[in-house]
Amino acid sequence: MEIGTRIRKYRQANGMKQEALAAACKVSRQTVSNWERNKTLPDIASLKAIATAFDTSVDALIGNDAPHIIERFDADSRRFLAIFFLMQVCWVSSYLLRLFAANAPNHEEELSIAVAEAFVLGIWIMTLIPYLRYTRRNGLKTIGDISAHLLEHMQQEKSLGMRLTRSILSHIYVWNWLLCDAMMLIALAGAGWLTPLSAIITIAASSLIAIIGRHADRWLNR
């Protein structure tokens, strides 16, 4: 029996309409209909909500569909990982292009950089919608939540690229701190203001921001 059929049987046995189940799972009625017709699969958060609504366990709900669902979740997490890093690349690229535009020798080159920046911004906006949909669906509020969630789905990956990715995600705050340092130092160098004193002040300021961000992350996870 497929999971959609099982969800429908549980719902009917509990005398619940699709609208009521949709409200319990915080999704649309059409989403519930798609689940029951096996057109789409519920995510982890929805599975927990469905199990709670039917007073059963997630294991009982998914039955023999567990391997298929795990494969689907792993594929979704890999897709989200690609989106997550693409957004970081777009953010850094946009920053560097803006820096180059500020130092462009003529109007034509400045215009070319502006077009490239608009292209990068367009890519970032296109990735923003699936990013927000995934984080909201899985209850991911902070960068710490995201790194922990992705690490959970990458434990079995043995390739060099995935091992490197796990290392970055495991120390996401350190990498963010180093990235912010590098970008601010590049900006100072581009403006001709880079001195030993300005470098020390920049690193100290970014360290303070990183500490505040880490504590804010912990506060949000309480």
Per-residue pLDDT, averaged over 1-14, amounts to: 86
Map out the domains of the chain as residue ranges. 3-56, 69-159, 171-222
Range scoring the smallest mean pLDDT among 37-41, 118-122, 176-180? 176-180
Query: What is the b/e burial string over 133-171, where b = at least 16 CB atoms within 10 angstroms of the residue's CB?
Result: ebbebbebebbbbbbebbeebbeeeeeeeeeebbeebee
Q: Label residue 161 by pLDDT band (50, 70, 90).
A: low
Q: What is the pLDDT of residues 131-160, one digit of tens each?
A: 888 887 777 777 777 777 777 766 555 666
Confirm whether pTM is higher than 0.85. Answer: no
First vs last C-alpha separation in the chain:
39
What is the third-level CATH fold of 3-56? Answer: 434 Repressor (Amino-terminal Domain) (1.10.260)
| Phi–psi pair at 124, nearest 5 degrees | -60, -40
Per-residue pLDDT, averaged over 165-194, amounts to: 67
Per-residue pLDDT, averaged over 167-186, amounts to: 67
Q: Are the C-beta atoms of residues 42 and 28 closer than 8 Å to each other?
A: no
What is the chain's mean pLDDT, rounded? 77
How many whole angstroms separate alpha carbon 48 and alpha carbon 45? 5
